[in-house]
Amino acid sequence: MPVPAMASTRQHVKDAATHEVSRRRKHLAREAVIALLNGADGQLADAEALGYGSYKPIHKEIASIKDKVSGGQSKPGLFDHIKQLFRKLDNSKAKS
């Protein structure tokens, strides 16, 4: 994935994680977290449409997080798995 698209995707996920923590503490709207996750998913879709690869595991994890947030099942560590997926992607790019 090109660096700008990956940076934008990561920023959306990071912002969503931050808002999710804030939402739990300050009762912010779930819609804000969902909107950020939708933005991240859209960035991945754009990268795929441009031929930069397939990011199905990240898409699936975004969908899983959105389901949990929508259902009120969020908890600490909710974004840990997607962060791990990004680290694996970074490691695979560094080795190639």
Q: Look at phi and psi of residue 51 and say left if phi exceeds 0, alpha if psi is from -120 to 50, else beta.
A: left
- Residues 45-66: tens digit of each pLDDT: 998 998 888 999 999 999 999 9
pLDDT grade for 82, boundaries at 50, 70 and 90? very high
> CA 60, CA 31: separation in Å to the nearest integer?
19
Q: What are phi and psi of 18, to 5 degrees?
A: -65, -45
CB–CB of 1/53 below 8 Å? yes
pLDDT score of 63: 97
pTM summary value: 0.74
Q: Which residues contact 63 (CB under 8 A, 6 or more apart)?
A: 41
% of the chain beyond a pLDDT of 90: 35
